[in-house]
Structure formats: C-alpha cells, structure tokens
Amino acid sequence: MRLRSLTAALALAVPLVAATPAAAAPSANAAACALPGRTGWTDEGHDTDRTQFQRALGTKRVLLLHVDFPDAPATGEFADYYRQLAPAADWLKEASYGRTGLEITPLNRWLHMPQDSASYGFERGITFEQHELYVRQAVEAAAPYTDLARYDLVYVVPTKSASAISFSPTYLYDPAAAGIVVGGKRLKWAVTFGQDMYRWGPKVAAHETGHTFGLPDLYAFTGTDYHRFVGGWDLMGLISGPAPQQLGWERWKLGWIDDHQVACLPAKGRRTVRLQAVERPGGTKIAVIRTGETTAYVVESRRAVGGDAGACSTGVLVYKVDSAVQTGEGPVRIVNGNPGAALPTGCKPLDLAAYGPGQSFTDPAAGVRIDVGHRGAYADTVTVSRS
C-alpha cells in the first residue's frame, strides 16, 4: 500500500435530442452508468473514498512552503516560485466550470531541511517512507510560523539549486499508518515539487492536486510508449499534451459535471444525443454506454479553445473506461478515429483521435455502435446504441 501510494502519484506528468425532431431530457438514471472502483486506490470509479481523498469542490486552501538544504542553499525570490505555480488555480477553475478553486498562501520564509537534498532518494525513485520523511521534516520546520490546521493541502517547493529533487510526487496518507501529525492535525495530502515544475509549469500542480482528489495516472508506467493510452488528451496523462483538459468522465467523477448532464445508456437500446463541448459550460457533456460491471464507453465533444487551444484534432472523442484497472495500466483508453491520418508537426497519432461527421465506431463484441452526425460550433450530435 505504501509503495503503491507513491507510485500512483508520480508524473513523468449534452441536451438530448431524440431520433425524431422532438427534444428529450437527459437521462434521469445517470447513476446506472456510474462505475464502482475496484482497485482500492486511485481509479476511475465514482465511489471514491472521501476519507482518503479530498472532495474536488469548493476552495482548497494551500500552504506553500519553501525549503533549502545543506547541499543546496536558498536561491531566488519567493515571488518567482509563487508565479511558477499560481496559474494552477486558473486551470482548475476553468476545468471545473468554477466549482473548484485554489487559494495558495506562501509562507515566504526559507525552511532549512536537516538533510542534504541528495539523501532523500528522489533520483533513485524514492520510497513512500522516504517521501513521508521529507514531507514531515518540511511541515515540522514550518509549524512554529503558521497554523497548519487552517489548510487543506501543502505544497513543498525546494530551492531551484536542489537538482537532486528531480520530480514532483504527491503524498497521499496511509490511513493504516501513524502518518504525519503536526499541532494535533493529521496531514493527509501534500505535493512536493521538483525540477520538472520548470518543464511542466503550473499544470504539474493541477495534475498532482488531481491525485489528492482520487484521480489515477493515465499514462503507462511500463513499456516504451508511455502515452499509448490517452495521448495528449488529459492532464492526468500527458501534462504538456496539446489538449490536456480533463476528460468528461473525470469531470463527472469529480462533481464538475452533474448527473443531468450525462446521457446514460445502461443496457440495450439506442438514442441520439447533442453533446456540448466539454471546454464550454452547460449542456449535456457526455454520453455513456455501460458495457459491464466496471466498463463503459464514453463519448464527448472537444474543441480547440481554452486549455485545449492547441488540440491537434477536434470533434467527437470516444474512449473506454475500466474502473477495475490500476493507475498506470490504462484505466482509460482513447479510440483513434483516424489511425492513418498525416501527423501535423508536434502531434502524435492518438492526438488525431477525434471523429467527425459521417464517421462511426463499432465494438461488435460489446454490441456498441457510435455514429457521428451534425457538427456545430461547440457541439456534436451522436447516435449511440447497444445491441
């Protein structure tokens, strides 16, 4: 559990329309398409344990700590470190349609860690125990200067000279262990940033904070193509992807999309749905075709606006969700609607996955068919069926 706790956190990083012209209301039984988690950790299930992961709604109060080390003394201005991460608040506000905010409060003093930066094991992959020690030492150093009980989450930012702190894992507490208790408060969640924050920018904070909400990593932990599952379509996959706004399924899981914005097909049947682009608020956001106890196909509309302004393709995105699949093993898999398309500069094959009008997807084994119809400025009409 402890080693998995850390591994799960690492980052490399629709109004319905009936078949007839008369409009219909979104499915009242959206809960019938919500999948149960089966991994016991971060996954795509809707029954997230809210004692172990924080709820992704409201304003999260974040304490920003700056640390240096005997082998890496403090450098730079506090304001520069803050500016590197602060735009994560804007990202989450946009992705959540205003339902989630970050209030980041910097302590604005250097906290001196008792060990050399190279001693914590970041460059060797770091264990849960080493990571917990690092977090504990940082918050204990901060305790005389602030009340940690006022905050939901802690960000630990090392001096830029600490090259040994190479990447940015998330600390997710183990309820079976003693954990970190400071001033009588149990610290449950912290993000410790490393040198990759200068490559990924503020989106690394949004990605890592997503783990504290219970989101899994969508990139692959093994193999040579780490982004073979979702390409650049989701922040929990490739942080620097061309269209990294969260998938509609994850927005539903987090409470950013309501049940009435989900068109659910829980059994055999057929329906036509008008999907509003997930980058814009309002409307029906996803159509879900449930195919098993922990599996479903999800359909959504994507456009090159906002955080997805760099999208390599736009239109209808189709993907399979399996809430029994572990983080890093492909709990979400995008279906490539254009596998033979020529690649624009900077785009990978899966980035061109979006379907356009007249295209169809079928999974004969599951009895699923998805037909793409009319395309609007910020919406797509699809017909989904299961036989």
Residues of the chain with pLDDT under 70: 1-28
Instruction: Single out the residue in 187, 212, 237 at which a domain terminates.
Output: 212
Judge whether 327 lies within some domain.
Answer: yes
Beta strands 262-265 and 286-290, pairing class = parallel
Distance between CA atoms of 373 and 376, rounded to whole angstroms? 10
Return the HEC string of the chain.
CHHHHHHCCCCCCCCEECCCCCECCCCCCHHHHCCCCCCCCCCCCCCCCCCCCCCCCEEEEEEEEEEEECCECCCCCHHHHHHHHCCHHHHHHHHCCCCEEEEEEEEEEEEECCCCHHHCCHHHCCCHHHHHHHHHHHHHHHHHHCCHHHCCEEEEEECCCCCCCCCCCEEECCCCCCCEEECCEEECEEEECCCCHHHHCCHHHHHHHHHHCCCCCCCCCCCCCCCCCCCCCCCCCCCCCCCCCCCHHHHHHHCCCCHHHEEEECCCEEEEEEEECCCCCCCCCEEEEECCCCEEEEEEEECCCHHHCCCCCCEEEEEEEECCCCCCCCCEEECCCCCCCCCCCCCCHHHHCCECCCCEEEECCCCEEEEEEEECCCEEEEEEEEC
Judge whether 221 lies within some domain.
Answer: no
- Report the C-alpha dihedral over residues 260, 264, 270, 273, rounded to 10 degrees: 40
Residues 350 and 280 in one domain: yes
Judge whether 270 lies within some domain.
Answer: yes
Residues 380 and 278 in one domain: yes
Residues 292 and 161 in one domain: no
Judge whether 280 lies within some domain.
Answer: yes
The pLDDT assigned to 22 comes to 32
Distance between CA atoms of 26 and 38, rounded to whole angstroms? 28
Judge whether 207 lies within some domain.
Answer: yes
Going across the sheet that includes 286-290, the strands are 262-265, 286-290, 295-302, 315-322, 332-334
The pLDDT assigned to 176 comes to 85
Residues 177 and 277 in one domain: no
Predicted TM-score (pTM) of the model is: 0.92
Distance between CA atoms of 195 and 157, rounded to whole angstroms? 10
Residues 37 and 145 in one domain: no
Query: Which residue, chain included where needed, has tokens 């003394």?
Result: 73
The pLDDT assigned to 370 comes to 98
Instruction: Single out the residue in 162, 184, 212 at which a domain terminates.
Output: 212
pLDDT tens, residue by residue, 78-136? 999 999 999 999 999 999 999 999 999 999 999 999 999 999 999 878 999 999 999 99
The pLDDT assigned to 193 comes to 97
Distance between CA atoms of 338 and 344, rounded to whole angstroms? 13
Judge whether 276 lies within some domain.
Answer: yes
Residues 66 and 204 in one domain: yes
Judge whether 3 lies within some domain.
Answer: no
Domain carrying residue 257: 13-44+227-386
Residues 294 and 147 in one domain: no
Residues 188 and 315 in one domain: no
Residues 118 and 264 in one domain: no
What's the number of domains the chain is made of? 2
Give the rounded distance of the alpha carbon of 155 from its chain centre.
Answer: 17
Residues 63 and 37 in one domain: no
**Distances 80 to 84, 286, 326 between C-alpha atoms, Å:** 6, 39, 37
We report the CATH number of the domain holding residue 72 as 3.40.390
The pLDDT assigned to 139 comes to 97
Question: How many Cβ atoms are within 10 Å of 12's Cβ, its own excluded?
Answer: 16
Distance between CA atoms of 211 and 281, rounded to whole angstroms? 24
The pLDDT assigned to 25 comes to 44
Are 77 and 88 in contact by the 8 Å Cβ rule? The answer is: no
Residues 274 and 198 in one domain: no
Q: Which residue type, as a one-letter code, is found at position 16?
A: L
Going across the sheet that includes 153-158, the strands are 100-112, 58-68, 153-158, 189-192, 170-172
Query: Which residue, chain included where needed, has tokens 């971060």?
Result: 42
Distance between CA atoms of 242 and 125, rounded to whole angstroms? 28
Beta strands 153-158 and 100-112, pairing class = unpaired
The pLDDT assigned to 175 comes to 85
Instruction: Single out the residue in 179, 212, 245 at which a domain terminates.
Output: 212
Residues 173 and 198 in one domain: yes
Judge whether 51 lies within some domain.
Answer: no
The HSE-up count of residue 293 (CA atoms within 13 Å, CB side) is: 4
The phi and psi torsions of 251 (rounded to 5 degrees) equal -65, -35
Distance between CA atoms of 16 and 296, rounded to whole angstroms? 19
The pLDDT assigned to 184 comes to 86
